[in-house]
Amino acid sequence: MERDKIIVRTSVIGILVNLVLVAFKATIGIMVNSIAITLDAVNNLTDALSSIITIIGTKLAGRAPDKDHPYGYGRIEYFSSVIIAVIVLLAGITALEESVPKIFNPVLADYTFVSIFIIAVAVVVKFLLGRYVKGKGKEINSQSLVASGSDALFDAVLSLSTVVAAIISYFWNISLEGILGTIIAFVIIKAAIEMLSETLSSMIGTRVNNEITDKLKDTIGSFEEVLGVYDLTLHNYGPTQLMGSVHVEVKDDLTAKEIHKLTRKILYAVYDEFGIILTVGIYASNEDSEETKKIKESLNKITSKYPEILQVHGFYLDDDINLVTFDLIIDFEADRHEVKEKVLEEIRALYPDYHFDAILDADYSD
């Protein structure tokens, strides 16, 4: 798979660059007795380890679906991102433990012009690596690569601060090692927590970007038989595998054959354009009768009084049994069941000869 190859290739580049930086920084840090540069080298070593984990996670996530895991192994990529975040977090905590004592017992590092120049070059290299890795991650929707790239950009900023501290120490003999190391540690910890939070949110399930849902609905609604598109839900089984369902509203006089053809056309169009496997359900519409229009208009007036009601759809009057059914989307913050019962109570009072049944839908997507 081309995406997996890009992830592995990008990660290998990251590993090689970071190992070279580790060698240079560790050597210079030990030679000039700089805790900040030594910690910077350790941080680069964790970056190399993160890239190795990314490669392993990508290989495991690319395994084909099987009987026990019919949706595939794509979510393993999220676990690799969590491991990377934890490694970065531990590196930050270690850096903090090493740096804080240096604030109260400062040791002047023995910088040379050559050592400062090498660290400055390392800053540029790390910045370019971070942009490259993060750019590739966004291009192929790889959370692990985006996390690694973001971490590399943080490292570049932190390495720049060590250059500034080194220059101050070189010219004015002032040691900022402890303070700088502590700042580096806190930035690393903050970045790790943000990476962990973002990945865990993806694992739990987050709201799908409305740019995707808007395009999906436009594609589905482009078929002339489709009167409305509702209840779009998408489930993530890895960064590149989305599955979901949607309801489309059609005239209730369409035959089973016509509905079959329509749903197939929708499935193929969505998969070809977005690579999403979609199940299509049907809402029947019979709003041509005056009675149906009258009841629906009354329902719309009632629901308009409740700002927490986001949408009413799936309205259908079965005049054979005098049953009216519809769906309500109510804001998550509201008492959804209470609002539903109030609406039913009002509409039933207006039309006592009819039975009314409402289904609560959730606000899964825009």
Domain co-membership, 240 together with 191: no
The last residue of a domain, from among 141, 172, 204: 204
Domain co-membership, 176 together with 240: no
CATH number of the CATH domain containing 93: 1.20.1510.10
282 pLDDT more than 90: yes
Assigned domain for 349 exists:
yes
Domain co-membership, 200 together with 220: no
Assigned domain for 366 exists:
no
Percent of the chain with pLDDT over 90: 31
Assigned domain for 188 exists:
yes
List, for residues 314-338, the tens digit of each pLDDT value. 999 988 899 999 999 999 888 999 9
Residue-by-residue DSSP string for 257-322: HHHHHHHHHHHHHHHHHH--EEEEEEEEE-TTSHHHHHHHHHHHHHHTT-TTEEEEEEEEEETTTT
Q: Cβ-count burial of 44 within 10 angstroms (0-12 exposed, 13-18 middle, 19+ buried)?
A: buried
Neighbouring CB atoms inside 10 A of 42's CB total 18
Domain extent for 345: 210-361
Domain co-membership, 216 together with 194: no
pTM: 0.67
Domain co-membership, 255 together with 337: yes
Domain count along the chain: 2
Tell me the average pLDDT of the chain.
85
User: What value does the mean pLDDT take over residues 269-281?
Assistant: 90
The last residue of a domain, from among 204, 223, 242: 204
Q: Cβ-count burial of 324 within 10 angstroms (0-12 exposed, 13-18 middle, 19+ buried)?
A: buried
List, for residues 118-156, the tens digit of each pLDDT value. 888 888 988 999 899 889 888 887 777 887 787 788 778
Domain co-membership, 255 together with 161: no
The last residue of a domain, from among 160, 180, 204: 204
Domain co-membership, 41 together with 141: yes
Domain co-membership, 170 together with 307: no
Domain co-membership, 198 together with 246: no
Domain co-membership, 20 together with 162: yes
CATH number of the CATH domain containing 244: 3.30.70.1350
* Amino acid, single-letter form, for residue 135: G
